[in-house]
Amino acid sequence: MKFGTKAIHAGVEPDPSTGAIMTPIYQTSTYVQRSPGDNKGYEYSRTHNPTRTQLQNALAALENGKHGLCFSSGMAAIDAIIKMLKPGDEVISTNDLYGGSYRIFTRVFQNFGIKFHFTNMQDTANVKKLINENTKMIWVETPTNPLLNIIDIKAYADLAKKHKLLLVADNTFATPYLQTPLDLGADIVMHSLTKYMGGHSDVVMGAVIVNDDELRKQLAFIQNACGATPGPQDCFLVLRGLKTLHLRMERHCQNGRKVAEYLKEHPKVGKVYWPGFESHPGYEIAQKQMLDFGGMVSFELKGDNVDDAVRVLENLKLFALAESLGGVESLCGHPATMTHASIPREDRMNAGLSDTLIRLSVGVEDAEDLIDDLAQAISV
């Protein structure tokens, strides 16, 4: 099936008891057994729930994977992945990843003896220098948040296999509509389903997709044992969102391009971060591993006056100033004080994340209205 057909049909079956075409919300905590241990595949909803099962199957199908597992948030999905490691293990990741990922790595798991290295992953030589006998995992985020750098998934898949490491790809920004990391050699794909996959800013959830049966077994044990599982209502909402993922992503990409091109020509804008520009250092890799360039755009005004950036954010009308991204409505944010505030300023600056950077999640409204909104806010 082509992607649009998969988004609507793959992994989802009509309800066998009623024929309902939409997956029911199985709002139950437990299930009656015929005899001790003799059940219909469901015992307790922390372990399994029919609504969640359908969502997990759908996610696996969209990522061209074998197994999907859902968690109560994107952070819970990250938590489960890192819990497969042991004290003394080491992880290599990019120096410009999402602030929440950086926070859980450095302020939670580092306390339990897991060591994390952060480096510029646009050059594989930087990662090769850090690999040692304790290295167990490479963590890739592409496009990165919020600088929209592109990391070559296939190159790191080859490197990981050579050194028998796990390669994890955070596919939140791209979604499987734009790229499928498992097809490029990644071992684990994770998502904050809160973002584009749910798409309507009404649910918080995360997911992990794998092909390997043993990885699935380990992650399913952690999912059940630690209990960070989503409720059936949230699973229903994400299932609903997936059915329009291809339509929404197409429009996000169209609008993202128009907004990026407008900002690039604006006399008050200094730099625009968007991988669709031929001048972007990751343009060729993005062309190779992505269908399109996405709906995320970051930019800086000329000069380094933080007040100017704050004034733009305060005066935008259609772009709502809020955390998160990937909803149908356009959002704007100030990474230095919002999504990436947990990263020390010196580390942010070294990675190129300035105090004046503005991040846009370009929604599916009419692009002309979004550009008009940017024009009036920047001109204030």
CATH of the domain at 331: 3.90.1150.10
* pTM for the model: 0.96
Q: Are residues 352 and 372 in the same domain?
A: yes
What's the pLDDT score for residue 346?
A: 85
Q: Are residues 118 and 149 in the same domain?
A: yes
Containing 225, the helix (H) or strand (E) segment is helix 213-226
Per residue in 247-270, pLDDT (tens digit) is: 999 999 999 999 999 999 999 999
Number of domains in the chain: 2
Q: Are residues 139 and 205 in the same domain?
A: yes
Q: Are residues 73 and 210 in the same domain?
A: yes
What's the pLDDT score for residue 363?
A: 98
Q: Are residues 372 and 274 in the same domain?
A: yes
Instruction: Please give the DSSP secondary-structure letter assigned to residue 236.
Output: H
Residues marked active site are found at 46, 98, 170, 195
Range of the domain at 305: 245-379
- Of 37, 70, 370, nearest to 203 by C-alpha is 70
Q: Are residues 236 and 250 in the same domain?
A: no
Domain boundary (197, 223, 240) is at: 240
Domain boundary (240, 270, 287) is at: 240
The distance from CA 217 to its chain's CA centroid, rounded to whole angstroms, is: 23
Q: Are residues 352 and 232 in the same domain?
A: no
Q: Are residues 291 and 348 in the same domain?
A: yes
Q: Are residues 275 and 220 in the same domain?
A: no
Q: Are residues 167 and 218 in the same domain?
A: yes
What's the pLDDT score for residue 108?
A: 98
What is the number of alpha carbons within 13 Å of residue 303 lying toward its C-beta?
Answer: 7
Burial class (CB in 10 A: 0-12, 13-18, 19+), 358: buried
Domain boundary (240, 258, 274) is at: 240
What's the CATH code of the domain at 131?
A: 3.40.640.10
Cα–Cα distance between 24 and 17 in angstroms, integer?
A: 10
- Of 224, 214, 138, nearest to 181 by C-alpha is 138
SS (H, E, C) 50-89: HHHHHHHHHHHHHCCCCEEEEECCHHHHHHHHHCCCCCCC
Q: Where does the chain show beta strands of DSSP type E? A: 67-71, 90-94, 115-119, 135-141, 166-170, 188-192, 206-210, 269-273, 296-301, 320-321, 331-333, 358-361
Query: pLDDT in tens for each of the 380 residues of the chain?
Result: 999 999 999 999 999 889 999 999 999 999 999 999 999 999 999 999 999 999 999 999 999 999 999 999 999 999 999 999 999 999 999 999 999 999 999 999 999 999 999 999 999 999 999 999 999 999 999 999 999 999 999 999 999 999 999 999 999 999 999 999 999 999 999 999 999 999 999 999 999 999 999 999 999 999 999 999 999 999 999 999 999 999 999 999 999 999 999 999 999 999 999 999 999 999 999 999 999 999 999 999 998 889 999 999 999 999 999 999 999 999 999 998 887 887 888 888 888 888 999 999 999 999 999 999 999 999 98
Q: Are residues 9 and 71 in the same domain?
A: yes
Exposure string over 96-116, b if 16+ CB within 10 A, otherwise e: bbbbbbbebbbeebeeeebbb
SS3 234: helix
What does the block give as tokens for 66? 């074998």
Per residue in 168-214, pLDDT (tens digit) is: 999 999 999 999 999 999 999 999 999 999 999 999 999 999 999 99
Q: Are residues 326 and 203 in the same domain?
A: no
